[in-house]
Amino acid sequence: MSLALKQVFNKDRTFRPKRKFEPGTQRFELHKKAQASLNAGLDLKQAVQLPHGEDLNDWVAVHVVDFFNRINLIYGTISDSCTDQTCPVMSGGPKYEYRWQDENKYKRPTALSAPKYMSLLMDWIEVQINNENIFPTNVGTPFPKTFMQVAKKILSRLFRVFVHVYIHHFDRVSQMGAEAHVNTCYKHFYYFVTEFNLTDHKELEPLKEMTSRMCH
């Protein structure tokens, strides 16, 4: 791995505070279990399956946080070449444009540059996963009824980061020698969201051809 890439994926270098799991908690043990499966080289399709006896909400929460941290880092690797000038529209090729909408400033879907969209997206996700009412960290505190709905929205929006990176910035990813890392992360994400039906099929359309080659 190149020095530049090592710096990018260095665990201490993050582009925003990482949400960590507290040692001794159920979520921490699940996180360790998920990581162990990956480190052992377990087939990714198997690695995403819900472990026997575990709660689906917990399993999804652990993966949402992990994917947020990893995809945020991936975007960080190409962010110097994703500017208001190079990417004035948040898109995935000529057919797909993503507009931003939230509960605050952007009440209606609004066209934004890719870096502005990404910044709002990462901030929005961070607020969700640090909200104890949505992602409770205490064992025994139940998840809200809306948890899966929020998780699906987060994952759908994170998928758009992959779309933009693959379609508009993959030359930069290759240049940095990060292709294998990004592909593995994408496959892991794809198998997870399809295993639990967490992303609408129309969201997956922009990368359909690539996915059919990569994820058998």
188 is in an annotated binding site: no
CA-to-CA dists, residue 39 to 44, 57, 164, 200, angstroms: 11, 23, 28, 29
* Token pair in block for residue 15: 């582009």
* Token pair in block for residue 131: 């909200």
185 is in an annotated binding site: no
215 is in an annotated binding site: no
Name the maximum alpha-carbon separation found in the chain: 50
- The whole-angstrom separation of Cα 44 and Cα 206 is 22
Annotated binding site for Zn(2+): 82, 87, 164, 169
Annotated binding site: 82, 87, 164, 169
